[in-house]
Structure 1
Amino acid sequence: MIPFLLPDIPVVVWWPDIAPAVPAQDPLGKLAIRRIMDATNGVDPLSAIKSRLPGYTAGDTDLAWSRITYWRALLTSAVDQPPHEPIESALVSGLKTEPALDILAGWLASRIDGPVRRAVGKLQVELVRKSETIVLSRPQEGTTATLSRTARPDARLPLARRVTGECLAEDLRRLDPDEIYFAALEGIKKVQYV
Structure 2
Amino acid sequence: MIIDLPRTSISEINKRLVQSRKDFGVITLGRVLTLVIDATDADVEDAITTANVASREHPCRIIVIAPHDGDEGTLDAELRVGGDAGASEVVVLRPSRVQAEHGDTLVMPLLLPDVPIVAWWPAAVPTDPGASSIGRMASRRITDSKGEADPVAVLRHLAEHYQAGDTDLAWTRVTRWRALLAAALEQVADQRVTKARLHGDTGSPSILLLGAWLQGTLGCEFEATYADDVRGLQSIVLETPSGDIGIARPDGHNATLTQPGQPEHTIALPARTLGDCLAEELRRLDDDPVYGEALRRWAGADSASVSIA
Provide TM-score, normalisation by structure 2.
0.58
By relative contact order (CA 8 Å, sep 6+), the higher-ranking structure is 1
Question: After TM superposition, where is structure 1 displaced by more than 6 Å over at least 4 residues in a row?
Answer: none
Cα-Cα RMSD: 1.9
Aligned twin of 1:134: 245
1:50 and 1:118 map into 2 onto residues whose CA distance is: 17
Q: Residue 41 in 1 paired to residue 141 in 2?
A: no
Q: Residue 64 in 1 paired to residue 170 in 2?
A: yes
Q: Residue 102 in 1 paired to residue 213 in 2?
A: no
Match of 2:262 among 145, 152, 157: 152
1:114 and 1:173 map into 2 onto residues whose CA distance is: 31
Q: In the TM superposition, what is the alpha-carbon distance from 1:192 to its structure 2 partner?
A: 2.4
Q: Which has the larger radius of gyration?
A: 2
Aligned twin of 1:183: 293
Aligned twin of 2:125: 19
1:173 and 1:53 map into 2 onto residues whose CA distance is: 23
Contact 1:143/1:159 (8 A) holds in 2: yes
* Pairs aligned (count): 190
Q: In the TM superposition, what is the alpha-carbon distance from 1:84 to its structure 2 partner?
A: 4.0
Structure 2 gaps of 5+ residues are: 1-110
1:187 and 1:157 map into 2 onto residues whose CA distance is: 30
Aligned twin of 1:86: 192
Q: In the TM superposition, what is the alpha-carbon distance from 1:89 to its structure 2 partner?
A: 1.2
Aligned twin of 2:87: none
1:125 and 1:86 map into 2 onto residues whose CA distance is: 16
Matched residue SS, 1:107:
helix
Matched residue SS, 1:125:
strand
Aligned twin of 2:272: 162
Provide TM-score, normalisation by structure 1.
0.91
Match of 2:156 among 47, 50, 55: 50
Contact 2:127/2:154 (8 A) holds in 1: no
Matched residue SS, 2:213:
helix
Aligned twin of 1:193: 308
1:99 and 1:82 map into 2 onto residues whose CA distance is: 29
2:296 and 2:190 map into 1 onto residues whose CA distance is: 26
